Every structure is written in C-alpha cells, then in structure tokens.
C-alpha cells in the first residue's frame, strides 16, 4: 500500500473518515462553493507554474455555473498568483515545481524544490489558508524531507510553508458590486504572503510511520466526533445515516 501525507493525516484525525474514504471508497457530491479550498488551491498551484490566466480559467472551468461569488474569488486568485510568482522569482537557486516523491510506501508532491548554491535543497509548500498555527504543527514538511533525502540522496537544508492569506469579507446589502470589488482590492493590498521556516523534527516522521503501522492493524475504525466534523464530507452519513451526499453507485450497504 502507498501512503500520502493526507491519507495518513486523515486516519490520525478520524479513523472512521479514513475508512469511508480509503477502505469503502465512498465518493461524495462535489462541493461547488465558490471558495472551495481544493479548487482554489489547485488553481493557485498551477497558476504559479504557468500564468494568472491559466489559473483563473482552470478555477472557473471546475464549476458547472459561475456566479458573482466566483468572480470575487477569481479577483483574489489573480492578485495572489501574481504576488506568489513575484516572491518565488526572488528566491535564489534552481527551481522545480511539483517534485514527485515516489516509493513503495510513500507518495507526495513537493510544491517547490530549490537547489541552493552549496548543493543542498530547500522544500517549500504553499498553503492558501490563515490557519498558520495548525499547519506549523503539521508533520508534512518533516515527512517530505525524510522521504526526499531517502530517495534522492540529496541533503535538505531548510523547510518552509508559504501562507497565502484568505480574505473572507462579504458584500454588504448597501454595496454595489463595484464598491465591493474596490473594498476587496483594498483588503488584498493590506495583507501579505508569509513565509514561515519549519525546524525539522524527526519525531514527526516517527509519528507518521507509527500511524501507518496502526492502519495495517486497525479493525474498529472508530469515529472521532469533534468540531472538525463540520468540514467532513461524510458528516450526514456518519452522524445520521443520511446518504444524500453520497454518490449512489459507491454506497456499500451490508
Ligand atoms: S463526521 Fe466526524 S466522526 Fe464522522 S467520519 Fe467525519 S470526521 Fe469522523
């Protein structure tokens, strides 16, 4: 079995969610909210590698229909892709985007790998999120460093998260669209991308490996009900046995 970082962290957060997603293979209806972090994050990543136009087109094409809310998100995307490209241009060294780490046990993609003048490498991961404290505790970059060094024989010098701020202001009832767009643009100018260095901690890699061992022996896949359930696509199924959000073909009933 091959494990990604997100697969293992899903198990760590809630074994039952892991079961629904990876054991039962339950698929849920897509979340077409304009601010779906998955769609925005993907477009942002690809926009940095290509251009702003590509990012916006990719984002809008993900939706069956675009509303003014999507236009507002596209304005943010345009702004941040430009800023992120500028920031990356100012990082010295040879750059590779979406570097794939692929072993029998692990698969992962490094958003940005930079070769330093001394022959070492730096690893960067982009997060379109304000949840900085929580990501700084994450094991992701530690695990990437471990497997990158194992597979490439190269030495990783530094680990970084690049945080792109999420602006979540809403249009007021008294505002026109143009007035809101002007306010949004002002808000964007007041925010800055943050680059945060992460100190390597081998313990995070041990925790990751231990969780993989646990997955192999897991039988109960207990629920872990907590406030994060509100962001779980299986919430209705798990809490109420309601399968409205599940794609019918994939539902397995015993
Ligand atoms: S709703 Fe909560 S308890 Fe149920 S699977 Fe999702 S995260 Fe786990």
Tell me, what's the pLDDT at 252?
A: 53
Tell me, what's the pLDDT at 165?
A: 97
94 burial class (0-12, 13-18, 19+ CB within 10 angstroms)?
exposed
223 pLDDT exceeds 90? Answer: yes
Query: Which candidate, 123, 180, 117, 171, places its Cα nearest to that of 148?
Result: 123
- Into how many domains does the chain fold? 1
Q: In which band, very low, low, confident or very high, does the pLDDT at 253 lie, cut at 50, 70 and 90?
A: low
254 pLDDT exceeds 60? Answer: no
Q: Which of ligand 1's atoms lies nearest the C-alpha of 235?
A: 1
| Total-model pTM | 0.93
Tell me, what's the pLDDT at 181?
A: 97
Asked whether residue 23 is domain-assigned, the answer is no
- Over range 79-87, report the average pLDDT: 97
Q: What residues contact 110, with CB distance under 8 A and at least 6 apart?
A: 96, 98, 99, 101, 123, 124, 125, 144, 148
Asked whether residue 184 is domain-assigned, the answer is yes
Question: Domain limits at 170?
Answer: 98-222
Asked whether residue 142 is domain-assigned, the answer is yes
Asked whether residue 137 is domain-assigned, the answer is yes
User: How far does residue 27's CA lie from ligand 1's centre (Å)?
Assistant: 15
Asked whether residue 110 is domain-assigned, the answer is yes
Asked whether residue 163 is domain-assigned, the answer is yes
Q: Which of ligand 1's atoms lies nearest the C-alpha of 20?
A: 5
User: How far does residue 18's CA lie from ligand 1's centre (Å)?
Assistant: 9
Sheet of 107-115: strands edge to edge? 94-102, 107-115, 121-128, 156-164, 194-198
User: For 133-166, what is each residue's pLDDT tens digit?
Assistant: 999 999 999 999 999 999 999 999 999 999 999 9
Asked whether residue 122 is domain-assigned, the answer is yes
Asked whether residue 4 is domain-assigned, the answer is no
What pairing do the DSSP bridges indicate for beta strands 194-198 and 94-102? unpaired
User: For 22-65, what is each residue's pLDDT tens digit?
Assistant: 999 999 999 999 999 999 999 999 999 999 999 999 999 999 99
Distance, CA of 119 to CA of 2 (rounded, Å): 30
């Amino acid at each position: 079995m091959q494990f990604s970082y997100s697969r293992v962290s899903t198990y760590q957060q809630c074994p039952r969610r892991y079961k629904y997603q990876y054991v039962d293979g339950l698929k849920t209806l897509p979340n077409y909210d304009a601010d779906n972090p998955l769609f925005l994050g993907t477009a942002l990543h690809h926009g940095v590698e290509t251009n702003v136009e590509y990012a916006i087109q990719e984002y809008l094409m993900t939706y069956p229909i675009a509303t003014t809310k999507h236009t507002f998100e596209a304005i943010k995307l345009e702004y941040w892709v430009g800023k992120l490209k500028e920031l990356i241009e100012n990082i010295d060294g040879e750059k590779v985007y979406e570097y794939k780490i692929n072993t029998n046990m692990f698969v992962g993609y490094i958003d940005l790998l930079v070769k330093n003048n001394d022959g070492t490498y730096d690893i960067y991961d982009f997060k379109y999120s304000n949840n900085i404290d929580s990501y700084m505790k994450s094991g992701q970059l530690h695990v990437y460093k471990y497997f990158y060094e194992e597979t490439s024989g190269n030495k990783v010098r530094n680990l970084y998260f690049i945080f792109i701020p999420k602006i979540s202001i809403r249009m007021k009832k008294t505002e026109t669209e143009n007035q809101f767009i002007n306010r949004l643009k002002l808000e964007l100018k007041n925010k800055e991308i943050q680059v945060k260095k992460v100190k390597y901690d081998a313990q995070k890699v041990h925790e990751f490996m231990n969780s993989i061992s646990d997955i192999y022996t897991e039988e109960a896949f207990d629920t872990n009900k907590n406030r994060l359930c509100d962001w779980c696509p299986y919430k209705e199924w798990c809490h109420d046995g309601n399968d409205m959000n599940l794609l019918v073909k994939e539902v397995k009933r015993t």
